[in-house]
Amino acid sequence: MNHYNPSKTYKYLYDYIIGDLLSQICTNGSKFCVKDKTTPYMIGKKFDEYKERASKNMNGKRLDRHKIASCICGAIIEAKPLQGFNGAVIASNANEILALCVGVNVIKFYMMYDLLHNLDIPTSDKHKIREYLKENFEMEYPSIEDNICDTQEYQKNLHNALYWSHSVCTALGRECFKYDIWAYSKIFYHLELFNKNNFQKVYQSYVQMNTA
């Protein structure tokens, strides 16, 4: 593991999203902890594997944000970074919940990046906007009222679907992992579209507060 050389993309994702979320989850008194010191490298290696797999079915080598979100989501589920602290029992789908949270935060990050990149303002002002959006804009999911016939929350359905991507292969006698990069890439794309208007509203609220 020590010989693993993480990509620039993964370093950024870990430093600004994954590591921050893990730190929040595994705070003092929490029943969660990270598996061990190799966890960041394990996630990174799995992420690179998913990226390579996705790139084989594309004309170009550069993945868009939705595929990056999908790849890191799959990597976290397979690496299973969270476990119970001192043997504490945690939810069986805890790593799937974390993976989805990381995925949507990747989309949030890129939405913020696009907005700030196109603003012709000083860097200090961009930093203020970034911090405001980070604190005040949260990615949302369609409500139960938006579902046609489902009575369970959209987010919980995704947690379950990700958890069910694990299965036991009786022929091989080990766990099989069937995660569809393309399907979840599309889901992250639709979640971005779903949140676009609210993102603009939060940004406009910042503008109004600072131009009054």
Separation CA 22–CA 98 (nearest Å): 8
Q: Which of 95, 111, 93 is nearest to 192 (CA)?
A: 111
Q: What is the crossing angle of helices 94-117 and 123-136, to 10°?
A: 150
Separation CA 154–CA 86 (nearest Å): 32
Q: What is the mean pLDDT of the chain?
A: 90
Separation CA 186–CA 40 (nearest Å): 26
Is residue 26's pLDDT more than 70? yes
Top-confidence residue, 63 or 146:
63
Separation CA 102–CA 19 (nearest Å): 10
pLDDT in tens, 116-175: 999 999 999 999 999 999 999 999 999 877 666 666 888 999 999 999 888 766 666 667
State the pLDDT at residue 6. 84
pLDDT in tens, 78-99: 999 999 998 899 999 999 999 9
Q: How confident is the model at residue 29 (pLDDT cuts 50, 70, 90)?
A: confident
- How large a percentage of the chain has pLDDT more than 70? 92
CA atoms within 13 A on the CB side of 120: 0
